[in-house]
Chains A and B, each alone.
Chain A
């Protein structure tokens, strides 16, 4: 990638990635060497958690620096560091909610944790890649790891099916993404995002069909990963079939990574030709929100409902993408962090409530939870209210911020559609709350196995959801500082 001002090699810049990779392999080796039975291998979770924590500390050291290492292929700036933090937090929380789950479901392999760590590497690469090649490789590392994780529960048909569906469609959409990159490359002669921007600026911001087609195909490819309609169809099936802890992971991680790449590509490379893509994203945003919310209304399986809700959330995030001002970037960063807490928290509670072989996942299985386990019910209500965007939770601040950014750029209609959608969304979140508080139990609740791990994960999620709702100032400030280099 020629002509980047800072041409360094600087292996230290990818230290968090190296740590994650190192710990990933270490988990595998330790797993093989140990003679214990599968159910007893607690140390795998500990080890991978340590890896995540170390990586987080190392990446924290970079705050404030801006660095283009590996000959300009890898960017470190506040933006990518914010995403690194989100990814590592996501991985850490997933490991926390996984530990007992994998033992219960008999999939406590070292590979499980290794793949979580490796897919985190892929996400980091997507957020940090300064050219389309690195973003592409990162996306593939992430996706392939998750294809495997989804199919990890080999003996269960739903898991198999989810894995196959995700894999086939993922590979298919990769084809489109790759074609898009090829056309962009052909039209500009480079794959570096900054060089593309320079080239477009040189042409006075007028694009020819070849480049526009390439841009459209990239939207398809990344739109698939972030579950935007009409590329969302895989989401409910795959979320339902995947092991629940992985569902939590893939509802947050790949979506955040997809948005990281989306923002980088469309704000840096295609930033000057905003008018050429805003209409498409506008339509996609409306379509995504509406589809997600409307179909979610009639779901009976909680994982499927959360899947559709995650589609809707992608739609809200796309609103901010359309707005394309500095406020919208920080809104996306903030919303993703909020979404991370509320989503993983909700899935953690789904894991606690469900029983072996992922049974008891109907919404009606939550009936009367408030009487048997009032604290769990309160926590779940908090997460659902946050997803519905009811104050004073993180989701409210995030939504408000996103809609304000849209209004600020003059997309009033889009904001109105967004608000209408968030009104619709309340109903299906409410159904769970109603079941928990306003119905008698329909089944015997087993005594809870609330291990310290999942307990910590839920507590972190609660704190995050409330903190971001009541005292969001600090995080918002960080989010605002994370956008400076983007445009």
Chain B
């Protein structure tokens, strides 16, 4: 069954090509069936592959399928090949499973859009790229998937390009991601230089067999560069700014790409390279601190946002921060566990918010919602489940994964990580319930015109919601502390680091069995505290937020404006560059044409601005560059070499 792995990728690719090339001539139903069918088949085969993997004894659960050798020259080898192991099999299940539900949901959500075929073509292409990313057996192929998901994300964020904000957001996402990709590309080159291979198995084998001491400077550099890529893709500080803007895309896209799958690629990559990361305590510290900081930072921005999708976006950033925190303290299993549960409940929340937006004919501002729970009951109920799950109330999925991360942060890291995480969890519970209360409870603030059209979403939208809600309820049991099926399942990937790799539960055992239980109680209390506060502020005493905002005007404004990060970036990076380029071309132009007064004075400014003058259009200037270049080269060759 494992041999079928290539088919998982093939179906989405075919689906994308069919819709992309012939979509304009197909009927809407066929387009939807092609796209969903492709992912459905792909999901089915993923399940088969997963079962196939389970049938193997745990220590043999790694399977490589070599398709063809891609780049081959001398010592450099890159193959197109897939690696199925517990980690990647889990990922393909998430990608195809959640992806399938979102595809079905999209059929309803995008039904009236004129770019229907384009949308599904991109969405299938995205799924293909994401699968390529998680299944590849070497860094370079992973990078291909990495770039391709970025490209699809770009296309989908800018899907409604008629809105200027959408195409700007798309561009921003692309640009920020390029910065991260740059680090990733360098990291791959450095890996090749260090290990003379880019194959996962070979690199990790070499790394784990003691050739490199812990704290090795090259490994540290490699892991930092890789983390740069991960931070770009997974929207961590300081490269997170693109994700909130990415909400300009259609909501199912936000659910699939900017919550459940693509943004977790960074976490996946670090988990995949756990062998390398374990060799570099410094990088681990960086990862953990950036993760923790991001978790808190994004959560605090999320407190004051009024756009329903933006709240969810900041929440996603914050949750990704948790995953990095887990990876950074070495609890990769916990990170992946949270990745999985987060995929369920965050997809659910996004789709639910999509359903709300759909019901309100496109309204996203929570100040114009309220009291919706009776109008769209299914959405409300599922949304409530998602909110409870993310807030961390037992026995919902989010509770177990978040709790495990906090526990690990405490056991392996230090109390600071834990307290940051715990505080962020408190904020999460607060703003998520704020969202819930503002949207579904209280007085209706909905526009009367819109109110007439209030309707529950069609079946193909609600069914995915219900399924995801179910997953959000039960998803956590798999990784239940104590039973911990996930731990054992993933241990072939994360095991083998010797004593360094102690599972949180075992480590917890050293502190006595009481610690995990205590932690559970504490985190539940934290979550309940957040919910209670939100309830107080947004349901019981609705005038309270306003009062608070007035009293704490400055902090409120700072949070409301997202710490002015965009403005600061603009001031520091964007504006000067703009200014320079304007100076460069406008003023030089004027100078060249107006000012041909007299020689030497001009020459002084001329030489000082020599790089600005480059393309004057005058042959004699060009000849002058040649002479200068020639003299420069002559001096360099004849003199400096001696």
Contacts and interface: CB of A to CB of B under 8 A. Distances in A.
Task: Check A-B contact in the complex, CB < 8 A.
Answer: yes
A237 B625 CA distance: 15
Interface in B626-642: 626, 628-630, 632-634, 636-642
Nearest to A476: B73
A420 B189 CA distance: 14
Nearest to A439: B161
A330 interface: yes
B74 interface: yes
Contacts of A165: 619, 622
A473 B71 contact: yes
A397 B621 CA distance: 37
A215 B190 CA distance: 34
Given A209-B638, A404-B76, A480-B74, A230 B626 contact: yes
A397 B626 contact: no
B527 to A, nearest CB: 42
A403 to B, nearest CB: 6
Interface string A187-227: 00000000000000000000101001101110110011000
A176 interface: yes
A94 to B, nearest CB: 26
B182 interface: yes
Contact of B72 (A173, A437, A477): A477
B614 A216 contact: no
B588 to A, nearest CB: 12
Contact of A219 (B80, B181, B633): B633
A220 B631 CA distance: 10
A9 to B, nearest CB: 37
B73 A216 contact: no
Interface stretch (B141-149, B200-208, B432-440, B599-607): B141-149
Contacts of A385: 151
Contacts of A400: 71, 140
Given A215-B637, A397-B71, A404 B192 contact: yes
A401 B186 contact: no
Contact of A298 (B182, B581, B621): B581
Contact of B637 (A234, A280, A330, A470): A280
Given A216-B634, A330-B73, A403-B189, A471 B629 contact: no
B167 A438 contact: yes
A279 B522 CA distance: 63
Given A215-B637, A438-B158, A473-B70, A172 B185 contact: no
Contact of A212 (B144, B628, B637): B637
Given A298-B585, A476-B72, A233 B636 contact: no
A226 B627 CA distance: 17
B174 interface: yes
A412 B185 CA distance: 13
Interface string B46-84: 000000000000000000000011111110100010000
B148 to A, nearest CB: 7
A391 B182 contact: no
B638 A291 contact: no
A374 B629 CA distance: 45
Contacts of B68: 471, 473
Nearest to A374: B24
Interface string A262-303: 000000000000011101100100000001000101100000
Contacts of A173: 626
Interface string A418-429: 011001001100
A236 interface: yes
Interface in A152-187: 164-165, 168-169, 172-173, 176
Interface in B172-213: 174-175, 178-179, 181-182, 185-186, 189-190, 192-193
Contacts of B634: 213, 216-217
Interface string A342-359: 000000000000000000
A413 B68 CA distance: 32
B622 A233 contact: yes
A112 to B, nearest CB: 25
B615 interface: yes
Contact of A233 (B585, B625, B642): B625
Given A437-B158, A476-B71, A480-B74, A216 B633 contact: yes
A165 B629 CA distance: 18
A416 B622 contact: no
B162 interface: yes
Contact of A434 (B167, B621, B639, B642): B167
Nearest to A230: B629
Given A220-B630, A419-B182, A440-B162, A231 B71 contact: no
Contacts of B638: 209, 212-213, 216
Interface in A466-487: 470-473, 476-477, 480
Contacts of B640: 279
Contacts of A471: 68, 70
Interface in A372-393: 374, 378, 385, 390-392
Which of B70, B140, B174 has the largest number of chain A CB atoms within 10 A?
B70
B488 interface: no
B170 interface: yes
Interface centre among B171, B174, B617, B641 (most CB of A within 10 A): B641
A407 B182 contact: no
A168 B623 contact: yes
B155 interface: yes
A415 interface: yes
Nearest to A308: B615
Given A212-B641, A215-B637, A219-B633, A176 B626 contact: yes
Contacts of B140: 400
A261 interface: no
Nearest to A220: B630
Contact of B622 (A169, A326, A480): A169
B153 to A, nearest CB: 13
Contact of B179 (A169, A283, A423): A423
A123 interface: no
A419 B71 contact: no
A231 B161 contact: no
Given A400-B71, A438-B161, A217 B192 contact: no
B189 A407 contact: yes
A376 to B, nearest CB: 13
Contact of B629 (A212, A231, A275): A231
A312 interface: no
Contacts of A217: 630, 633-634
Given A169-B623, A209-B638, A427-B175, A220 B629 contact: yes
Please provide the 9 A-B residue pairs with the shortest distance between their CB atoms, ordered closest to farther: A438-B161, A233-B622, A230-B629, A391-B144, A216-B637, A438-B167, A209-B638, A212-B637, A216-B633
Interface of B: 20, 24, 68-74, 76, 80, 140, 143-144, 147-148, 151, 155, 158, 161-162, 167, 170-171, 174-175, 178-179, 181-182, 185-186, 189-190, 192-193, 581, 585, 614-615, 617, 619, 621-623, 625-626, 628-630, 632-634, 636-642
Given A213-B634, A233-B625, A430-B171, 19 more contacts: A169-B626, A212-B637, A216-B633, A276-B641, A279-B636, A390-B147, A397-B71, A400-B140, A401-B71, A403-B189, A407-B189, A408-B193, A430-B174, A437-B155, A438-B158, A438-B167, A473-B69, A473-B71, A477-B72
Interface of A: 164-165, 168-169, 172-173, 176, 207, 209, 212-213, 215-217, 219-220, 223-224, 229-231, 233-234, 236-237, 275-277, 279-280, 283, 291, 295, 297-298, 326-327, 330, 374, 378, 385, 390-392, 396-397, 400-401, 403-404, 407-408, 412, 415-416, 419-420, 423, 426-427, 430, 434, 437-440, 470-473, 476-477, 480
24 contacts: A169-B622, A172-B626, A207-B641, A209-B642, A213-B634, A216-B630, A216-B636, A217-B634, A220-B633, A231-B626, A233-B614, A280-B637, A298-B581, A396-B144, A403-B189, A419-B186, A423-B179, A434-B167, A437-B155, A437-B158, A470-B70, A472-B70, A476-B71, A480-B74
